[in-house]
Amino acid sequence: MIRVGVLGARGRMGRTVCAAVVADPDCELVAAVDTQAGEAVAGLEVSDSPDALLASSAQVAVDFTHPSAVMGNVRWCLTQGIHMVVGTTGLTPADLDEIRSLADSGPANAVVAPNFAVGAVLALRFAEQAAAWFPDAEIIELHHEAKADAPSGTAIATARAIAAARGHQPVAPAGDDAHPGARGADIDGVRVHSVRLPGLLAHEEILFGGPGQVLTIRHDSTDRASFMPGVLLAIKAVASRPGLTHGLGALLED
């Protein structure tokens, strides 16, 4: 049995992860941590201190908190020898470098994935393939209104994969000065447009344009259940993967 603690246990993702861990015969939920203590999640009382992870001898901590909180949790857990599965988005390349360094030099490993849905990983792979034939590409990512970061980590990863896979970078027209932002964010030369609306969960549309044709790759997470098989896969794999594993794709290849 893998002893699992969840950081952000009272949140939308944290609650779903707690329930998935309890339902998995290979895992045991031993700690639930959030900013406010008291309430029970998946039958376990929530603690407001990560010390609960140590007190319960958690082997793996899963973080679905906030971009402003995640690095503090990562530093603390990896230094304490607790493996980490990080789903919180908004990490910068410098954050990833720091996690890699901590995991390489310390007693615990990390899996970090901006999207734990298998369909989103496949969409990224299909986009890499398409980029070789359609260098002109733009991304629209659509999420619920409470998402803290924009663009999404998934869209950033997809844009970088397209930029690396296409043979040349096409020149996309800029917008006019009167309407800044109309052309979206420029991620390695790929335009990314972020939509935030109630009613949405997590969606990504990758559009490739060529003479006389448009190819659209679309992935929709319609329920947080979509992320759970990937999260459980990471919980089970992290102890045997030294250092940092970045992206669910690496785990699917094993």
Closest to ligand NAP by CB, 41 or 134:
41
CB distance 19 to 45 below 8 Å = no
CB distance 198 to 144 below 8 Å = yes
Instruction: Spell out where the chain has E strands.
Output: 2-7, 27-33, 40-41, 44-45, 60-63, 83-86, 110-112, 136-143, 185-187, 190-196, 202-210, 213-221, 244-246
Closest to ligand NAP by CB, 28 or 149:
149
- Of 66, 144, 147, 236, which residue is the catalytic one? 147
Smallest separation (angstroms) from ligand NAP to the CB of 144: 7
CB distance 83 to 62 below 8 Å = no
Closest to ligand NAP by CB, 14 or 135:
14
Whether 143 is catalytic is yes
Sign of CA dihedral 22, 27, 30, 33: negative
Whether 147 is catalytic is yes
Smallest separation (angstroms) from ligand NAP to the CB of 221: 7
Closest residue to ligand NAP, Cβ-based?
Answer: 11
* Interface contacts to ligand NAP, rule CB under 6 A: 7-8, 10-14, 33-35, 64-67, 69, 73, 87-90, 113-116, 147-148, 202, 227
Question: And the tokens for 150?
Answer: 């924009």
Question: And the tokens for 137?
Answer: 């590409």
- Of 83, 143, 193, 246, which residue is the catalytic one? 143
Closest to ligand NAP by CB, 24 or 208:
24
Smallest separation (angstroms) from ligand NAP to the CB of 98: 17
> Of the candidates 152, 141, 161, which has an alpha carbon nearest to the alpha carbon of residue 249?
161
Which residues belong to the active site? Answer: 143, 147
